[in-house]
Structure 1
Amino acid sequence: MITRYHAIYYARVLAQRAIGDNIDSLSQSLLNAAVDINPHQIEAALFAFRSPLSKGIILADEVGLGKTIEAGLVLCQYWAIGKRKIIVVCPAALRKQWSFELTEKFGIDNEILDSKNYNEYVRIGRNPFDNKKVVICSYNFVARKKDEIRLFGFDLAIIDEAHKLRNVYKKNSVTAHAVREALENVKKLLLTATPFQNSLMELYGLTSIIDENIFGDAKSFRANYVYEENYSELQMRLAPYYKRTLRKNVVEYINYTKRLPLTQKFDSTDLEFELYTKVSEFLRSDNLYSIPVKQKMLTTMMVRKILASSTYALLGTLATIKARLEKMLEENKYQQFDLNEIFDEDEIELLNENEEDSIDSDVNSPTEDEIIDTKQIQKEIAAIQSFINLAEQIKHDSKAKALLIALQKAFEQIELIGANRKALIFTESKRTQAYLKEFLEQNGYRGKIVIFNGSNSDKQSNEILEAWLKANAYTGKISGIRAADRRAAIVDYFKDKAEIMIATEAAAEGLNLQFCSLVVNYDLPWNPQRIEQRIGRCHRYGQKSDVVVVNFVNQRNYADLRVFELLNDKFKLFSDVFGTSDEILGQIDGVDFEKRIWLIYQECRTEAEISAAFEKLQAELESKINTRLKDVKEQVLKTFDVEVQERLKLAKEHTCAFINRYEYIFWELTKFILGDKAVFNDSNHSFILKERIGESPKGKYCLITSKETEGIPYRLSHPLAQYVLKQASAIKVTGGKIIFSPLETELNVTLPEDLKGKSGYLLLSSLDVLAFDTEQYSLFTAYTDDGQPLSQELCEKLFLCAGREVKPTGLTPVQQRKLKESAEQHRKGKLQQIDSRNLLYFKEEEERIFQWEKDMINSLEKELDTIKRQIREQERLIRNAVTIEEKIAATKKLDQLESIKRRKRNELADREDEIASKRRKLLAELDSRMIRKIHHEDLFAIEWQIV
C-alpha cells in the first residue's frame, strides 16, 4: 500500500530522463520490452547513450547475440522520452522482420515506407515521414529520398546490415554516399557482425557514416593505419564508437542449440528431367515475347525457381504466360507485361525485394504501338503448350515423394531429442504450397496441416481466425488489425493443434517459432541470407532443442548439386551451432550472389561449364577471406575489456535488481491510481479493468514480464499507463506525515537497524537540467528528529516501503529552513557532478576534433614531404648527369617540382586556415551546448516515521 506522496515520486521516477551509460538511461525501455534481455544487450544499449555528443556507434556483436534487441532498446527509450522521429534502414528483405520485432517485442507503431505508399501520402498532401510511427525502409529508398529525409530531421537512425555501406569512401558507391548524406545530422546505430572484410579502409568507411570528422580523409587514414599499421592507436580512437561482444563471452547465460542437417537425395524421372531441360533451354533464348525484356533477369530467375519447386506451380505459370501471348496475338499488339498476372503475391514479394536491392535496367520494353512478330509469338505458344503437355503427364513430383520419406526420418530424429512433433516446411511458391497440402493430406497428414502465406484467405484460415477471435474475446490478445490477428491465430493453431505448417517465405518473415525444431527447405533459395532467415524462425534464442534442417538434392541436376554443396560446405548453413559464419555471410551481398547463380543456370549447359563456373565463384569467395586480414581484425577489433565475463555477470545482477525495483514502482502506482476501477492479482501481476478509460478498453491486462499470457500487454508506453502517470503527476499535496512499514513491503528492502522506530522530516525536490541533452532528477533531503542526515539512496529505499498517511504535527520553522538550505546544497552538488561529467564529454569531443585536425594537416604535410623527396632525387640526377640532355631534362623536371612545392605550400597554408576555422566552429558549437538551463521545484515536504 502506498500514499499520495509515493505516487508523486513514483510518477517522477518512471518518467524522468537520464544521460550517460548508467542503467537509468534505459529505465523506460526496460519496462516496454517484452523480451528476455541479456546483460551484454543492456551493456550495448547503454553504450549508445554513453555520450550525448556522439553522433552514433557501431554495434558489431557476433551473429546470434541479438543486435536487433540492443537497437530496439535504444529505439524504445527514444520513443518513450518523446523523440519519435525514428527511421530504420535495412535491406529490403529485412523490412517485415523489423516491423514484426518492433510491434511484438516493443509495442511500437511502425510502417514500412516504399515508393507506392510514399507517393500516395504525397498525393493526399501528407508528409510521408511525419506519420507518428517508426519508419522502416530500404537502402535504395533512402538514397532516392535523401533530400526529403535530410530535411525532415530524424532523431535516430538504425542502420541494419551496415557493412553494405563500408565502401562509402569510394567514389562509385552511389547508394552509400546518398545514405550518408541523408542521415548526416542524425544520431545513428550501425548494426553489423562484420565491420570490415577486405581492408581496414572499410572500417574508415563505416565510421565516416557516423561522423565524417572522426578521422581525417581517406588518404590520411590509409597512411596512418593501413601502411604504417598503428593498430593500438586505431583501437583507442575507435573505442568510443565501437562495441563488440563475442559468443564465447556469453555462453554462461545463453544456451545455444545445434543444427542437425538431414539431406534427402532423390532422382527426377525421365519426364521431369525432359521438362526441366526443355524449359531451361527456352529461358536462355533472347528476345522472347514470353519474358519482358526489362525484367528478364527477375522473371527468368523466378520461373527457374518455380521449375525447381513443383510441376503444379510451373503449370500455373506456363498457362498464364500462354494466355498472355494468345491475347497479344488476338489483338495484334504488344501487351505490357504485368508480373502480378504471372506470379502469385508471395512470389511477387520476393521479386520486389530483389528489385529494391538492385539497380533498374536501362533496357526498354517494346511499346503497344510496335508491330509484333506473329510467327515468333506462335512459335513461343507452341513451345509453351508442349511444356504444359509434358507437365500434365507428371502426376506426382519425385521430390514430393521424397518429402514423405524425409518427414518420417526427421520426426523420428526430433522425437529422440525430445522436441515437439512439428515441422515448418518452406516454399517460395503459393501454388506449390497448395499442392503440398493436398499431397500430404492424401498421405496420412489430413487434419494436421496449416498453411501460412501472404493472404491466408482460404476457408481453413478463415475458420481458424474466427475460432481464435471467439476464444480470445476477453484475453486482450486481439489487436483489432485483421492481418495481425490472422497471423497470431495461425501461429497459435500451429503451436497447439497442427503438426505441419507449410509457409511461403515472404509471409513467414518475423515469425518466432521456437516451439518447432524441424525446418524443411522444400525448395532452396539461392540467397544465403534468406536461408539463414528461414532456419532462424526456429533456430533462435529461446529454442530449447536442437533443430533438424531438411534439404532435398536432385541427383540428376548437376547445377542444383553444386548450389547445395556451396551453401552447405562453404556457408555451413545447415549444421553447427550458429550456422553461417560472420566471415562469409557478412561479406556476401545476397541479391548479387543470387544473380551470379542465375547467370550460371542461364549460360552453362554442360557439367564441365557448370563446374568451371562454380569453381570460379567459390575461388572468388575464398579470396575475400585471408589469414592476414584475420590477424589485423584480432588486433583492431578485439574486445576492450579482458574481464568481460565477470563484468557481464555483475551487470546481470544489477539489471535484475533495477528491473524488479522499476516494475514494483510501476505496479504499485497503477494499483494506487486505478483503485476501484480495476481488480488486481498481485501473484501474477495482472488486473481486470472494469470500465473503459480513454483509449484503453475494459478487460484483462498483464505486465509484460508476467507469466500470465492471456491479457492485454501492459507496458509503460500503453495509453492506460500514460493515463496513470498523468493522474499521479497531477496530484497536489501539502505537508503530511507517512508511517513507513518495511515488513509489509513486497520488495526485499533492507534499512539500517538503528533507523527502526525513528522519525524525522523530508523534502523531495525536482531538478531538470538542459545542456547537451535533458536530464531529470528527484532529489531527497532528509533528517531524523535528532538531526542525523539520510542519504539519497536511503530515502529512495524508504519510498520503496509500504506506507500510510497520518495526521502531521507540522514542521517547525527551524526544520523548514534546514531542509531548504540542505536541499540547495544537494542541488549545487548535483549540478557540480553534472558539470564535471559534461566537461569530460566536452574534452572527449575536443580531443576528437584536434585528432581530426592533426590527421588532415599530416596528410597535407606528407604530400609536401613526397614532393621534397622527389626534388632531392632530381637534384641528385642533375649532379650525376652524364650528358647535357640528361642534365637539361632533370633540370626541367626540377623546375616543375619546385613549382608544385610552392603551390602545395600555399595550399597547405590555406588548408591549415580552413581546417583551423572548421575546428573553431565545431568547438564553438560544443561550447554553446555547455550552457545549461535549470528548473527546480519543491514537490513536497513531510514528516516520517518507521515502524
Structure 2
Amino acid sequence: MSPLSVVPAMVGPMLVTQRDDPGDAGPQALPETLLNLLGQLSPAAPVDPARSALVDQAVSVLRRPGFDTLLSLPQLAFEPFDYQRETASTVLRRMRGRAILADEVGLGKTIEAGLIASELRLRGLADRTLVITPAGLVEQWRDELERKFGLPTAIVTGKDRAIDERGNRPVLLASLAAARRDPLKAELTGAGWDLVIADEAHRLRSARSASGKLIRALSARFLLLLTATPVENRLQDLYEMISLVAPGLLGTPAQFRARHVAAGGDVNSPRNLAELRSRTRQVMVRHRRSEVALRLPQRLAETTLVTPDTDEQALYAELTERIRVEAKEAPAARRLALRAVARLAGSTPAAAAPTMTKLGWTDLAATAKSITYPAKLRVLTAKLGEYAARGEKVLVFTAFRQTLDTVAEAARAAGISAVVYHGGLPRAEKERVIGAFRDTEQVLLSTESAGEGRNLQFCHVMINLDLPWNPMQIEQRLGRLHRVGQTHDVLLTNLACRGTIEERVLHVLETKINMFELVVGELDMILGRIDEDFDFEKAVFEAFASTENESAFARRMDEIGEELAAARTSYLADRRNVDALAGEDNE
C-alpha cells in the first residue's frame, strides 16, 4: 500500500484515517465532503454479486479495442495485404458484419472472409459459423481456414450431428448442392447462425431457385456474400444481392425500378447512378487489381506436340474407331467407361490397358501393355533432365495413378531424383513429400491431389503430362504455382500427342478464351455463363463420339469454342458493369 492510501477506521464517534507511513504522527480527520458521501452510502443495500459481475463484463467490453484494431492478426499463419485488412475492418465497423465482398477474381475474397470470421469468433460474436460453397471448393475452404487462420472446421452433409455441437464449435462447411436439399437443408434452416458465408454468391440471387430459397431461409446475424460478379445481365441482379445483406436499403422492388432501372432494364445505363453507387458502397467492397497494385508474375505457357510412334498411332486409331461405333448405342454406364478409356489413352497406353480389358478389348489391352516407353514419356524425361541440370524444381501432373507409377520408374531409370504424391498417401506422408520437394528434391510427380489446396509457390515450372478435359482442373493445377507469393514467371508446358483429343482441347482453350492468360478464378466465371451445369468434359466426349471423323470433330469443337468466346465477352462486360456500380472512382 502506498503512503497516500487511506483506510477508514472508527475511533469513538469520529471517523479517522490511518496512514501507513511510518513517519506519520497519527490519525487525521476525514474531509467533510467525504464524510457526507460515506453518510449517504452507509444505509445502502449490500452489493449484488451478479450485478457486480455484469459491470465487470461491461467494463471489459468497453476496454476491448474496436474493429479498427484486428485482434486476430497475431494468430494468423500468413501476412494479409493492407487492402484485405482494411476490408475486414470496414465490413465489421461500418457495415456491421453484413456485406458483399466483390473483389475481382484472384484478389483473395476468401482471405477477407476468413479475417472477418476470425475476428468475430475471437470476440465471442460468431461461435456458430456456416460456410456454403460450391462442392468443388469445400476442401479448398477447409484448407484455407485451418492452415492460414487456425480455425477448426467440419464438413456437414446432413448425416452427422456436427450442427448440434456445443462448446468450441468448428466452422461448418457445406456444399451448396447438399445444403439446398433435405435432410441438410432442414437442419441448416432450423438452426440459428451467428455468421453465414456464401461463396460464389451470384448463384443465390434468384429468389425462385433452390439456392436462392436456401439463403433466404437461413437466419444469421452476420452475412457475407462473396462474388466477383454481383451484377450480370440485369440491374435487378444488384437489387437481389443487396437486399439479402441489407433489406430495404434500395427500397421495395417497385421503388427500385422506378428510381434506378431504365427502360428495358439495361444494366449499362441506370438512372440516378451517383445515388445508386452511394447506396451500393454502403454494403459492397470492390477492389480491382489496378487499384491495389497487386501484380502476379506472368504465365508463360507452351504446348509441345509429340509425334507418337507408329504402334501408338495404330493403337489410338483403332481405339477411336471402337469408341465411336459403340457409343452410338451404348447405355449410360458403358458410355462412362468409353469416356474413361479415351481420357486414359491420352495419358499413356499402359494406363489405358486395364480399362480396355474391362471393356472386353483384350487385344487392344495387350498392345497397350507392350508399349512401355511411349514418345510422350521420352519427351518428359528429356525435359526433366534439362531442368535438373539447371537446378530448377519441376512439378509434373498426371491424372492417373497408373501413369504416375510409370513416370516414377522412368525418372529413376534416368537418374532423376523425384518424390511422388497422390491421394492414397497418409496425411503425414503427404506433408513429408511436400517438405522434401520444398527443401531437397527437384521433381514432384503428382496426381490431381496436389492440385487441390496445396500452395507450391517455391516452384515455378510445371509440366502437364496429360491434359484434363475439364479446364477447371487445369486451372487448379496451375493455381498451385501461379498465385500470390510467387516471385518468378510461371513456366507451363502442356504435352499432347498429335491427332488426339488433348490436342483439340488445347487448341480451343488457347485460341478462343486465351485460357493461360487468365487470372486464377476467371475461367470459372466464363464457364458458368454457358450454363450453370455446363460440363466441358462431357461436351468434349459427346463431340468426339458423335462425329464420324476428325474433321467433323474439329468443327464441333470449334462450335464449343465459339460458345466459350461469347461467354468470355459477356464476363468482361459484366466486370465493367460491376466496376461502374461499385468500384472506386479513378479521377
TM-score in terms of structure 1 length: 0.50
Which of 617, 622, 632 is matched with 2:560 structurally?
A: 617
Quick check: which has more Rg, 1 or 2?
1
Q: Residue type of the partner of 2:142?
A: S
Which of 226, 231, 234 is matched with 1:196 structurally?
A: 231
Answer yes or no: is the 8 Å Cα contact 1:264–1:552 preserved in 2: yes
Unaligned runs of 5+ in 1: 1-8, 323-380, 458-482, 644-947
Answer yes or no: is the 8 Å Cα contact 2:101–2:225 preserved in 1: yes
TM-superposed CA distance for 1:591, in Å, is 5.6
2:43 equivalent in structure 1: none
TM-superposed CA distance for 1:451, in Å, is 0.9
What secondary structure, in the 3-state scheme, does the structure 2 residue paired with 1:262 have? strand
Answer yes or no: is the 8 Å Cα contact 2:467–2:496 preserved in 1: no
2:547 equivalent in structure 1: 604
Measure, in 1, the Cα distance between the counterparts of 2:466 and 2:338: 16
Matched, 1:314 2:331: no
TM-superposed CA distance for 1:387, in Å, is 2.1
Compared CA separation, residues 40 and 570, structure 1 to 2 (3 A): farther
Measure, in 2, the Cα distance between the counterparts of 1:455 and 1:488: 13
Measure, in 2, the Cα distance between the counterparts of 1:297 and 1:212: 48
TM-superposed CA distance for 1:503, in Å, is 1.3
Answer yes or no: is the 8 Å Cα contact 1:529–1:590 preserved in 2: no
TM-superposed CA distance for 1:522, in Å, is 1.6
1:841 equivalent in structure 2: none
Matched, 1:237 2:208: no
Which is further off, 537-546 or 310-319? 310-319
Measure, in 1, the Cα distance between the counterparts of 2:440 and 2:534: 37
1:23 equivalent in structure 2: 68
- Note the 1:529-540 alignment, pairs <5 A: 529-540=472-483
Measure, in 2, the Cα distance between the counterparts of 1:490 and 1:500: 11
**What is the root-mean-square deviation in Å for CA atoms of aligned residues?**
3.3
- Note the 1:255-654 alignment, pairs <5 A: 256-284=296-324, 293=332, 299-319=337-357, 321=358, 381=360, 384-408=361-385, 415=390, 421-445=392-416, 448-456=417-425, 483=427, 485-557=428-500, 559-575=501-517, 580=522, 584=526, 587=529, 592-624=535-567, 625-626=569-570, 632-639=577-584, 642=586
What secondary structure, in the 3-state scheme, does the structure 1 residue paired with 2:459 have? coil
What secondary structure, in the 3-state scheme, does the structure 2 residue paired with 1:600 have? helix
Compared CA separation, residues 409 and 129, structure 1 to 2 (3 A): farther
TM-superposed CA distance for 1:140, in Å, is 0.3
Measure, in 2, the Cα distance between the counterparts of 1:222 and 1:567: 39
Which of 157, 165, 176 is matched with 1:139 structurally?
A: 176
Answer yes or no: is the 8 Å Cα contact 1:571–1:580 preserved in 2: no
TM-superposed CA distance for 1:233, in Å, is 3.1
Matched, 1:92 2:104: no
What secondary structure, in the 3-state scheme, does the structure 1 residue paired with 2:511 have? helix
Measure, in 1, the Cα distance between the counterparts of 2:175 and 2:457: 28
Which deviations, in whole Å up to 9, do the C-alpha atoms of 1:158-179 show, x marking residues without a partner? 222223334x25x4x33x2343
Q: Residue type of the partner of 1:422?
A: K
What secondary structure, in the 3-state scheme, does the structure 1 residue paired with 2:93 have? coil
What secondary structure, in the 3-state scheme, does the structure 1 residue paired with 2:535 have? helix
Answer yes or no: is the 8 Å Cα contact 1:90–1:161 preserved in 2: yes
Answer yes or no: is the 8 Å Cα contact 2:132–2:175 preserved in 1: yes
TM-superposed CA distance for 1:236, in Å, is 2.2
- Note the 1:826-865 alignment, pairs <5 A: none
Which of 122, 129, 140 is matched with 1:80 structurally?
A: 122
Which deviations, in whole Å up to 9, do the C-alpha atoms of 1:606-639 show, x marking residues without a partner? 2332233223222223333258656544422322
Compared CA separation, residues 498 and 308, structure 1 to 2 (3 A): same
What secondary structure, in the 3-state scheme, does the structure 2 residue paired with 1:309 have? coil
Measure, in 1, the Cα distance between the counterparts of 2:575 and 2:451: 35
Which deviations, in whole Å up to 9, do the C-alpha atoms of 1:575-629 show, x marking residues without a partner? 4776957863664658633332232223233233223322322222333325865
Q: Residue type of the partner of 2:348?
A: S
- Note the 1:686-765 alignment, pairs <5 A: none
TM-superposed CA distance for 1:260, in Å, is 1.4
Q: Residue type of the partner of 2:232?
A: Q
Measure, in 1, the Cα distance between the counterparts of 2:297 and 2:525: 21
Answer yes or no: is the 8 Å Cα contact 1:59–1:67 preserved in 2: yes
- Note the 1:17-56 alignment, pairs <5 A: 22-24=67-69, 26-27=70-71, 29-51=72-94, 56=98
TM-superposed CA distance for 1:186, in Å, is 5.3
Which deviations, in whole Å up to 9, do the C-alpha atoms of 1:375-395 show, x marking residues without a partner? xxxxxx3xx212212212322
Compared CA separation, residues 79 and 585, structure 1 to 2 (3 A): farther
Which of 221, 231, 246 is matched with 2:288 structurally?
A: 246
What secondary structure, in the 3-state scheme, does the structure 1 residue paired with 2:396 have? strand
- Note the 1:204-215 alignment, pairs <5 A: 204-210=239-245, 213-215=248-250
TM-superposed CA distance for 1:306, in Å, is 2.0
Measure, in 1, the Cα distance between the counterparts of 2:247 and 2:61: 37
2:40 equivalent in structure 1: none
Measure, in 1, the Cα distance between the counterparts of 2:86 and 2:529: 27
2:146 equivalent in structure 1: 103
TM-superposed CA distance for 1:278, in Å, is 3.7
Compared CA separation, residues 526 and 50, structure 1 to 2 (3 A): farther
Measure, in 1, the Cα distance between the counterparts of 2:192 and 2:156: 16
TM-superposed CA distance for 1:423, in Å, is 0.8
Compared CA separation, residues 577 and 183, structure 1 to 2 (3 A): closer
Measure, in 1, the Cα distance between the counterparts of 2:466 and 2:221: 41
Compared CA separation, residues 14 and 573, structure 1 to 2 (3 A): farther
Answer yes or no: is the 8 Å Cα contact 1:517–1:547 preserved in 2: yes
Which of 212, 218, 224 is matched with 1:177 structurally?
A: 212
Of all paired residues, the percent bearing the same amino acid is 31
Answer yes or no: is the 8 Å Cα contact 1:528–1:585 preserved in 2: no
Compared CA separation, residues 93 and 153, structure 1 to 2 (3 A): same
Answer yes or no: is the 8 Å Cα contact 2:230–2:237 preserved in 1: yes
Measure, in 2, the Cα distance between the counterparts of 1:297 and 1:210: 45
Answer yes or no: is the 8 Å Cα contact 1:139–1:179 preserved in 2: no
2:50 equivalent in structure 1: none
Measure, in 1, the Cα distance between the counterparts of 2:224 and 2:348: 42
Q: Residue type of the partner of 2:355?
A: T
What secondary structure, in the 3-state scheme, does the structure 2 residue paired with 1:23 have? coil
2:51 equivalent in structure 1: none
Compared CA separation, residues 556 and 129, structure 1 to 2 (3 A): farther
1:697 equivalent in structure 2: none
TM-superposed CA distance for 1:105, in Å, is 0.8
Answer yes or no: is the 8 Å Cα contact 2:395–2:446 preserved in 1: yes
Answer yes or no: is the 8 Å Cα contact 1:406–1:550 preserved in 2: no
Measure, in 2, the Cα distance between the counterparts of 1:219 and 1:528: 41
Answer yes or no: is the 8 Å Cα contact 1:63–1:582 preserved in 2: no
Q: Residue type of the partner of 1:269?
A: D
Q: Residue type of the partner of 1:202?
A: D
Answer yes or no: is the 8 Å Cα contact 2:289–2:295 preserved in 1: no
What secondary structure, in the 3-state scheme, does the structure 2 residue paired with 1:202 have? helix
Matched, 1:65 2:107: yes
